Structure 1
């Protein structure tokens, strides 16, 4: 004979019997405050900006890369006034006619123009070159040639951002950015209790 098979019915979940148990059985999911979301976005932006600054610092030190701001239109329309150009340092022996290069001048601001001729410097360093240059918007060449051993060749330029870059470096803007960053950090990390935590910490009161 075979023994009768016992069928176990699935048990239904028990319902809370009191209001206190109903409150405690609910899972409270704390909602993030708008300030917290804005703070996270600002922190991501600050981290990206910091990473970019670090990358530019390393590039400047290792590859001799500099950013040149154009306040005049002597290189228009190729590089208009208000543009910023990224230039890389190269030996003067690598300069070719048609290159746009930046030349350092003793006691004066650097000048960035297009090379019109390149020759060796008589009785000079074998790596040195005597170059003449002219701005694309100018009708005549620069008054004097330049004897150089190293120049910075322009790789690319971005129009219209020179005022922004120049303004960021001013003391008022730097002070404002520092103050805003300080307020943001304090607002994000200031200790505060969440409503969800308070509701979970309440002791349920049962019926007498």
Structure 2
């Protein structure tokens, strides 16, 4: 081969033509190792490609499973948080309602005449021949109205009904017991009740 300037890459095998009976000369295969190396390489490349594809699929599956688990966990947390938020919202709404009711009540009380206002009004309209020994203020059950009770002595007790009823703070005045003359005081003893005007009535009366 050296004398013929031949390379082993161009010769697959060397075989002699001479045969001795049934036995032939041996053959030398020059490309066995090269083909074996090529065959090994040909098998390794697809195997590596398949392994890479399998690993990519496994990685994608694991990532998808992790994401799905995270989404499920996040969904559970959102549901639990939503329930808590709804409960808190209901409590906040209840507090707002109570606060508004309290504000309205305070406004009503601030607009409605108090005990001192009623006493001053009674003193203003009461005639000089009359005086009180008892003055009570009570709320009428089931209504936003107050009721005053006046007990005392007067030189003309029946006339007090019209006087009290004509006041800007009272209405529906009426005697609650018969008028009796008290010899010790020299006056008629009376018991009178009147309803306190509501703030809306006061505004209408002012107009």
TM over 0.5: no
More helix by share: 2
Question: What is the TM-score with the length of structure 1 in the denominator?
Answer: 0.30
Question: What is the TM-score with the length of structure 2 in the denominator?
Answer: 0.30
